[in-house]
A and B are shown apart, each in its own frame.
Chain A
Amino acid sequence: DAMVIQNPRYQVTQFGKPVTLSCSQTLNHNVMYWYQQKSSQAPKLLFHYYDKDFNNEADTPDNFQSRRPNTSFCFLDIRSPGLGDAAMYLCATSRDEGGLAGDEQYFGPGTRLTVT
């Protein structure tokens, strides 16, 4: 089945130790998104890629970076995790072939990050 896959599902890292979360998709969608969701809060968009074009949300901290080496894969790099970065990180994709940004998004199962 076509899907959005995230690895690992659970990640523990130490304060200040860089960590990379990965996302892959078999949907062949143009757009990939990264969200941060803290307990009992809404998912918050960090950034998205439309093909290779990277778009950062204005309030996304510099500590968060992303790479999309090809259509299928997208990575979230947290350069120096702080305790406040502990959250669920969700990857999503959408088709948006016309660039109209109107398509629904399909989410991966998320990676739950713990910072010790």
Chain B
Amino acid sequence: RKEVEQDPGPFNVPEGATVAFNCTYSNSASQSFFWYRQDCRKEPKLLMSVYSSGNEDGRFTAQLNRASQYISLLIRDSKLSDSATYLCVVNGGGFKTIFGAGTRLFVKA
């Protein structure tokens, strides 16, 4: 089993749609969690940190379920500019940072 697993994708959605990505992690001692966005041939950029209480930033909502070792990202009212690969990132302690393989999103007009 991979340490961090994500929905394989790709997700093809129309503009305005709501889309959800899931991520599971295997290390129950993991300390911190993030969602990054990566555009084609560019570096990953932090989208949002994921807190136990859940957090929201505009159209983006992240949730963490420690009991199920599960993280989610919800994007509402998708825009063309949301097309990218979304990477789930888990810090397992001691600076050991593990990236998921990413989920590709294509938003169509």
Contact = CB atoms under 8 A, between A and B. Distances in A.
Interface of A: 31, 33, 41-45, 48, 50, 55, 57, 88, 90, 96, 100-110, 112
Given A105-B46, A108-B43, A109-B43, A42 B87 contact: yes
Nearest to A101: B95
Interface stretch (B14-22, B59-67, B74-82, B97-105): B97-105
A33 B97 contact: yes
Contacts of A101: 31-32, 91, 93-96
A48 B97 CA distance: 10
A105 B94 CA distance: 14
A102 B31 contact: yes
Contacts of B45: 107
Contacts of A100: 31
A43 B46 CA distance: 14
A43 B100 CA distance: 8
18 contacts: A31-B95, A42-B87, A42-B101, A42-B102, A45-B96, A45-B97, A55-B95, A88-B41, A90-B44, A100-B31, A101-B32, A102-B31, A104-B46, A105-B97, A107-B45, A108-B43, A109-B42, A110-B42
A106 B46 CA distance: 7
A44 B100 CA distance: 10
B21 to A, nearest CB: 14
Contacts of B44: 43, 90, 107
A90 B49 CA distance: 20
Nearest to A57: B96
B34 interface: yes
Nearest to A107: B43
B23 to A, nearest CB: 12
Contacts of B32: 101-103
Contacts of A102: 31-32, 91
Contacts of B102: 42
